[in-house]
Amino acid sequence: MVLLFALGLAGALAQSPAGDPGTVSTGTVVSGRVIEQGTHAPIGGAQVMASPVVQGPPPTDPSLMRPHAVSTDDRGQFVFTDLPDGRYRFSAQKT
């Protein structure tokens, strides 16, 4: 079985209370749907992983290196909420 998934990305940017235009806080939402290749049937109960991809020196906060995981619902849909800034490699697996 080959799993396919589509991603949607929404970022919310807000200026700091001091109004410093160089300082922003972010809350990123990534959502999508996992489907079976060929039939396009939704895959419920699949685990979707967002693994940080580091470019340059590793972050000083080790928690930023921790992968994030969510499960799909019966319609194959998933949502990651408030991911930290960065690049991620996404994968899906049904066990």
- Per-residue pLDDT of 28-82, as tens digits, reads 888 999 999 899 999 999 999 999 988 888 888 887 788 999 999 999 999 998 8
pLDDT of the residue at 17: 46
The pTM of the whole model exceeds 0.95: no
Return the H-helix or E-strand segment holding 37: none
Read off the amino acid at residue 23.
Answer: T
Residue 24 has pLDDT above 90, yes or no: no
pLDDT of the residue at 27: 66
Q: CA angle, corner 27, sides to 57 and 19, nearest 5?
A: 90
Within 10 angstroms of residue 32's Cβ, the number of other Cβ atoms is 20
Nearest to 88 by CA among 54, 63, 46: 54
Residue 88 has pLDDT above 70, yes or no: yes
